[in-house]
Structures are given as structure tokens and as C-alpha cells.
Structure 1
Amino acid sequence: MTRGCPFDPPPELTKLREEDPVTRVRLWDGSTPWLVTRYDDVREILLDPRISSDTSRPGYPHPSAATATRRMHFINMDNPDHDRHRRLLTRYFAVKRLEGLRPRIQHIVDELIDQMLAGPTPVDLVEAFALPLPSLVICELLGVPYADRDLFHRTSKTIVSRHATPEEMQAATTELHEYLGDLVESKGVDPGEDVFSRLAVEQLRTGQMSRDEIADMGLLLLVAGHETTANMIALGTLALLRHPEQLAEVRAADDPALIAGTVEELLRYLTIPHLGRRRVALEDVEIGGQTIRAGEGVIVATDVANRDPEVFDEPDRFDVHRNARHHVAFGYGIHQCLGQPLARVELQIVYGTLYRRIPTLALAQPFEEVEFKHEMLAYGVHRLPVTW
């Protein structure tokens, strides 16, 4: 596809939204699922119980041959199995509980910034700040030793890569799954106050869930809990650096509402899951004047939907004062992101702290040389050299 502004969806997809919003596309395996690009149609699809998230069903539009081999997680289950697994985790990701983590997250943010300020410049913001922060937070929440971060960073990179081979995907997933399974078993013997300990005590000991089931759940939480937020921190910073007047407002803000609004607008504007939410129809469904037949795959392009001019005025304009809370960056319906309250808290603290503490933060290389993650399931930048 044509590459325009790296913050914008490809022009071809924008054109489809305007002219052919429910249309067939061809994937790597020759299959032709439906691509849905308008905001209202996207939300309708994501709410419809006749549209399945089950990756094992024939017709499901896998992004690559490797992702077709991945283990089943609860986000890829339909009800009642989906709700049964999700309910086990809801209390750990409740807004009130995660708001209580603000002081600890603020402390981690300040420590990482102190370390950057004490070191040489330029520095890679991804390696020094964007990746360590959510990794530390999710490790503490789940009960994963941060000392083992090299293992889960390395395996996660393969798991979220579109270009990994099936063999590489299988090896990375197995390695991380076995590590987490062993960890859960150890938590059952010597539990703490973390999520894995609670699952081990309440589910593993009682036989309600197996070691493998908890490890599968943990793999999803660990990978999603650091990869997506790390990408949003770095990519969001780059977007703000490209809009200096709005960055100045964010830097000077003493109103938490402006920081919270900035987070929502960056989530809308960037929408880092660039491969869409994928589904398969269980029954014939009418969407946007087209009939999607039972067994046909569906891809909902949330990044394109979040630029729909019928919903967002001047959608390609970045505006920290926009009310963007109704975006679909976290999905919609029963499968919307479980960890969104944690992501919001982390991003609000980052955007409210980093630019205030380093007011002269600047890109240390030409913008045109920034390497974007076009090959990953979650969009971002590989490196972000900055100075001050």
C-alpha cells in the first residue's frame, strides 16, 4: 500500500471507507474476508454475537501463517467461555484498583527519567523509558520477576511479529508458556499478593483451572501488558514532538483533564492495532448493505474507523482538546481490551510527567529516518533517539 504520513492509515483504506466501506480483500493465504472501515459498521460488528472471535473456526482471517499456529487465549473465545475467563481477571483490572497504583507508577516514571537525565545523550527513548515502564508495571501486577525481562521481551517480539515463521512463533510461544507455567506452579507453593499467586491459589489448587490454562492467560496479559503501552509511549511522544504547539500545552498543563484528553486523542489518532480486529461470521449478517455469509471472515479496521469524518470532525487533525473518548482503539463490546484502565493510568502519568521534567526533549535524528514497526501486529517505532 502507499505510505503517506506515518501517523495516518494508508490512503487506500481511507478511500475504501468513503467509497466501499464493506468490501472484500485478499489475504496471504488467498482467502477473501470482508474489510469493514466505517465507525458505525465497526461498532455494530464488534457488538454482534453472530460474529465470532474464535480463531479455530474455518474462515477466520489470520494475519499470517505464523499467527494461525498461536495458542488459544480467552480473547479469542466466544461466550460463555470468554466471560468465564474474563471474570477471573476483572477485579485485578478494575478502574479503582488501578487508580490506586498511580503513586507506584509515578515513582517508576520518575526513576526512569532520573536515570536518563543522569546519563549521556542522545538516548533511545524506547530502550530507556518506553519499554521498561510498562514492563515493570505489568511484572509487579502479575508477579513476574523483572529480572527475567530479557526472556519475555525476546519472545514477545516474535509473538507480535507478522513476519515470524510458524516454527519461530511456535518456539517463542512454547518457551514463554513453559516459563509462565513453571512460575504459576511456584506461586501455588509460595504465593504473594500478585495476580498469578491469586490464580494459583484460587484456581490451580482447587482444580478449577489447569497449569496450562493459567499460563495461556498469563502469556496474553504479559505480552499485551507491555508491548502495546510501550508502543503508545514512544509513538505518542513522536506525534507530540511533531505538534510542538500542542506539546507546549501538554507540558504546561496543570489540569488532569487535559492530560486525560491528550491520551484519548493519541489513542484515537494513532490506533496502534493496524491489522484490525478479526472475526468470522456464524450466521448470515447484513452490514452496510452487504451480506456477510456464515463462515466468511471479517476484519474491522479500527484505525480507519477512528478517522471517520461522520464521527470525528477533521479526523486527520491531531487536537488535544478533542473529546475522543468514544474512539474504538481498545475495541468495542465484550472483547474490548481488559487492560485499558491500566494503559490509561500509565499514559496519563507519562504524558503528564516526561515533557514537564525534560522540557527541551527533542528528536535526535531526522524524522524521515525514524524506523516504524510496519511488520508488527502493534504499530510503533523500533527506536526513538532523543536529546535535550
Structure 2
Amino acid sequence: MMVEKMDQHQGAISFPFPARSHLEFPPQFAEAHAKCPVSRVKLPHGQEAWLATGHDVVRKVLVDPNFSRALAAEHENRRLTPAAILNSSLIGLDPPDHTRLRTLASRAFTARRVERLRPHIVAIIDDLLTAMGKHEGPVDLLEHFMRPLPALVISEMMGVPEQDIERFLEWSAEAIAGPSNPEAAAAGYQSLIEFFGKLIEDKRRAPGDDLLSALIAAHDEQDKLSDDEMVALSVLLLVAGHEAITTVFSWFVIILTTQYPEHWKHLQSHPEDIAPTVEELLRVVPRTKIGGGFPRIAREDTELAGVRIKAGEAVIPAMDAANRDPVVYGEDPERLDFNRSENPHLGFGAGVHFCIGAPLARLQMQEGMRLLLKHFPTLRVAVPVEELKLTPETAMRILLSVPVTW
């Protein structure tokens, strides 16, 4: 039976839900889901939206073209944080523009092409960890490993010249970290935009065997991509690549070494279990402070789990809550099961906005974990987890530092 919208308005609950600790997922998600997998919520800036928490309804929001990212990108007053959301390029588009850009970019992220990168990525990881091992602990795992890894990998894919990598790393770290001074983050983004703009000019004169040269060819030979779209796509790939490693992979290591040390030790002698371990952690570890993905706006009146959604209303797909749906993951969905046989998690999204870099992110996490275990089998976090600090002014759960020793 359809639930009338007015009844839900009267019970709007404040969102985002506060977390009492870094490793706790707010219990309000489960409480809301138990009442209805679609709830009415009030956002920090006065707007209201629908919060989808059930696995089926979240997947529908992500897959159904009736729920538009492009429309949501036009309505900044619906955002969840004071900072503007990066809506350029793939994130803020719907088909057919999204399809055109994604088709071009996805050529660089096929499973086969990414697999060919494995030896080079392994060499990058090995070099970073070897250099880190020359320091006496505690050292910052983010500074020495988690931040430079994705930047070095994506710079290789994009064809960033070796002499520019150091500046490239500085700008990307500034933009991604989301410092308390938003002007600094904006300056980092602007520097990257100008950097990629110049790099496109250089690649046009002297193309190479890299993604940026391929995108330029698509523009010059097929007129499928504008220079602005190339720049926006390049920045997005860098941002998304950083997010998966600095936000998620850091927490994987923290959780395994502090809460599951026996499994960390198990993985040293059973590297074949690293891949399913990564998948289970992708299911459980929240990426954002809000527990939800980018909002969508309904194009037409529709229904979710019996709830009436009117055209123009925003829906927030809470992937982290969906990944804890007891219908899919059993009576104790918070429990990590590293032997889970089926794991249809939404850690990389679903539908047309499924993370284009998922194969690359998985490779970096799997090889990163394998080599961390090899270089530092006794790795441990050097401070209590509750003393770790998150970067302010960003919706992502990016840590300021992760001091480790061994």
C-alpha cells in the first residue's frame, strides 16, 4: 500500500545521523529502515529529502533513469554539506551525455587493461613501502603510502611527465584533503584544472600511449569530447582515485590491525583470501560521514517501497545502509564475514554511475594489502583509534593522518 507523502513529512527526521565513534555506523539507519526502507529526512540547510536505506530500493534509485543526477547537480540548495559537490563530468550527468563520456573513459579501465598494469602498480607499491620502511616508526601511513599511491598510478595512466609529478601530488593532496580552509581546496582544484589544460596542449603536440592522448584523439578525430570535458574528466579520475584509497583503504588497514589481528595474521599465509577480505570491507566500511551517496531527483511521480515520491523531490541513496540490509546480509549485518560466499554490495554504486575505476581500485587495494603484509607483518596503529582525526569541511571520511609502527 502506498504511503501518503504528507504523513511522511510530519515525521521528517534530522539527517545526517551523528556517529559516536569512527568505527560505529549510526544506529539511526537501522532504526529508520526497520520502520520503512524509505524515510523522510530534514537536511542541514533546511531542505527535505527522502532517504533510501533498503538494498532493493537503493539499487533502484541508482539504476532507474527516473532518478536523475543531472537534475540534482543543478540544485545546490539540496546538498548535504556546506561545501559544493563536484558535479562536473560523469558525476553530474545523465545519459546520453554521460554515456558518451563514460564510453570514452571506460576504455582505460577495462579489467584486461587494468590487469596489464598490475606489474607496474606492484612496483610502485613496493617502492613506496620500501621507502617507508627506512624510517623509524611511528610514521604516517597516509603521507608515505595511501596518498601518493593513487596519484602515482593515475599520473602514469594519464601520462603526467615525471618532472611534474611532485607538483601534481601537492595539488592533488591539497584538493582531496578538504582542509578547514575551503579557499586552499579551491586553489588545489584550480591548479589541477590549469595543469591538465596545459597538459592537453602538450599532448596534442606530442601524443603518447596514455589515456589523455586517447581522449584528445577522440576530440580531434571524432569530435566527441571538448577540452573542458577532458579537463573535468581528468580531475574527476584523480579525485575518485584518491577517494577510494585514502578514504576506504586506510580504514581497511585500521580495522584489520586493531579489531581483527588474527585475520591480518591469517592473510600473511593465505594471500588468496585477500580479495574476498577486500570485498567484505568494501561492504562494511562507510566512505562518507553522511552514509549516503549523491542525491538524485525524481523526474516523474513514482513509488519506492510503497512510499510516494513526487517529481522534483530528492532521494538520497544510502549505500552504506543498504550494505547492512538484514534481508540480504542476515540477522547480524554489522558482523564482518570474510568467508561470505555472496556479496552483492553497493560499495562502488550501481547502474550507469557504477564506479568506472572499480577494477583499478580493487587492484591497488589487493596488492597494497598483500605487500603491506609482506613488508610489515606486525604493522599496528600507533595511537588509539578514537584519537585519529578526520579532515574537516568534507563529506568523505578522510583521515588527517594514520601513525603506524611495526
Deviations 1:190-229 (A, max 9, x none): 1111111221233146543222111011110111112322
Post-superposition shift, 1:59? 8.2
Match of 1:271 among 262, 286, 305: 286
Amino acid at match of 1:318: L
Match of 2:304 among 262, 272, 287: 287
SS at match of 1:299: strand
Q: In structure 1, what is the Cα distance between the partners aligned to 2:227 and 2:54?
A: 41
Using structure 1 for the length normalisation, give the TM-score.
Answer: 0.92
Q: In structure 1, what is the Cα distance between the partners aligned to 2:342 and 2:170?
A: 36
Q: 1:59 to 1:217 in 2, by over 3 A?
A: closer
SS at match of 1:49: coil
Residues 245 and 365 of structure 2 are in contact (CA less than 8 Å); yes or no, is this contact kept in structure 1?
yes
| 2:165 equivalent in structure 1 | 146
Post-superposition shift, 1:36? 0.6
Runs of 5+ consecutive residues of structure 2 not aligned to the other structure? 1-16
Amino acid at match of 1:269: V
SS at match of 1:212: helix
Post-superposition shift, 1:153? 1.5
Match of 2:213 among 197, 202, 205: 197
Deviations 1:307-353 (A, max 9, x none): 11111122111222223541001111111100000001111101122
SS at match of 2:295: strand
Q: In structure 2, what is the Cα distance between the partners aligned to 1:373 and 1:267?
A: 21
Which runs of structure 2 are paired with 1:239-254 in the superposition (5 Å)?
A: 239-241=255-257, 242-254=259-271
Aligned-pair RMSD on alpha carbons? 2.1
Q: 1:110 to 1:11 in 2, by over 3 A?
A: same
Residues 45 and 77 of structure 2 are in contact (CA less than 8 Å); yes or no, is this contact kept in structure 1?
no
Post-superposition shift, 1:52? 0.3
| 1:377 equivalent in structure 2 | 395
Deviations 1:88-133 (A, max 9, x none): 0111000011011111111111111111111111111111111111
Which runs of structure 2 are paired with 1:93-132 in the superposition (5 Å)?
A: 93-132=109-148
Q: 1:17 to 1:100 in 2, by over 3 A?
A: same
Q: In structure 2, what is the Cα distance between the partners aligned to 1:339 and 1:367?
A: 29
Q: Does 1:22 align with 2:41?
A: no
| 1:315 equivalent in structure 2 | 333
SS at match of 1:351: helix
Runs of 5+ consecutive residues of structure 1 not aligned to the other structure? none
Match of 1:64 among 72, 77, 81: 81
Q: Does 1:52 align with 2:68?
A: yes
Amino acid at match of 1:323: S
| 2:354 equivalent in structure 1 | 336
Match of 1:299 among 316, 326, 329: 316
Residues 252 and 356 of structure 1 are in contact (CA less than 8 Å); yes or no, is this contact kept in structure 2?
no
Q: In structure 1, what is the Cα distance between the partners aligned to 2:295 and 2:171?
A: 28
Q: 1:174 to 1:286 in 2, by over 3 A?
A: same
Match of 1:40 among 56, 75, 89: 56
Q: In structure 2, what is the Cα distance between the partners aligned to 1:25 and 1:111?
A: 47
Post-superposition shift, 1:290? 0.6
Residues 171 and 189 of structure 2 are in contact (CA less than 8 Å); yes or no, is this contact kept in structure 1?
no
Comparing 39-48 and 148-157, the one that deviates more = 148-157
SS at match of 1:280: strand
Q: In structure 1, what is the Cα distance between the partners aligned to 2:92 and 2:116?
A: 30
Post-superposition shift, 1:373? 4.6
Deviations 1:362-382 (A, max 9, x none): 111122212235753322422
Q: In structure 2, what is the Cα distance between the partners aligned to 1:61 and 1:2?
A: 19
Q: 1:60 to 1:345 in 2, by over 3 A?
A: farther
Post-superposition shift, 1:291? 0.7
Q: Does 1:237 align with 2:237?
A: no
Q: 1:31 to 1:250 in 2, by over 3 A?
A: same
SS at match of 1:192: coil
Using structure 2 for the length normalisation, give the TM-score.
Answer: 0.88
Deviations 1:126-154 (A, max 9, x none): 11111111111111011234222101221
How many corresponding residue pairs? 381
Q: In structure 1, what is the Cα distance between the partners aligned to 2:402 and 2:76?
A: 38
